[in-house]
Amino acid sequence: MDEPVTPIHKEKKFIVFMTCLTRLLTWCHCPDCGSVDISTCHNVIGSLLVITLSCASCYKKVTWNSQPYIGSTPAGNILLSASILSPGATAGKVLRVMRTMALATISSRTYFRHQRSVLLPVVQRVWNMFGSYTMLELHANVVIDIQLVQVGYQYLKKFMSRVEIT
């Protein structure tokens, strides 16, 4: 039986020091020939670490990614951008904190590209699904009712039938 899959944004994440990861990789051996003569090469893409393990005996190569991808984008990179945008934080300050800690991170330019191409269109799509209607009593300057409704003709028709316009 398959275990339930945790959504990427809810999965626990860790700060891992490169020296500790390198020490762990010394335990690796080639799955094909059993050799322990393994060389490593690493590449960093924002918060993503890609490690290529190469066997010196049989020349087999294996690539390991520190995080999954969402489409062609490392999940940690897009989640970082979303985590900066959603509470209203400033990208400059958050990324400066990460650089001060020597954490692998995205650039401000990448953050704004994610914001423009992925995050804001998603926010806009969600906002377009709902409408807010407010009923005011203008003489007393009082809000009588506020309704958040899903956008669509049937919802509008139902709402308007409840309101007597004079």
| Domain-wise residue ranges, the chain | 14-66, 68-128, 130-162
CATH number of 14-66: 2.20.25
Is this model's pTM higher than 0.85 or not?
no
pLDDT at 154: 61
pLDDT at 163: 54
State the Cα–Cα distance between residues 30 and 53, nearest whole angstrom: 9
Low-confidence ranges of the chain (pLDDT < 50): 165-166
pLDDT at 133: 78
Apex CA 102: angle with CA 96 and CA 103, to 5°?
A: 85
pLDDT at 166: 41
pLDDT at 48: 98
Residue 101, classed as helix, strand or coil, is coil
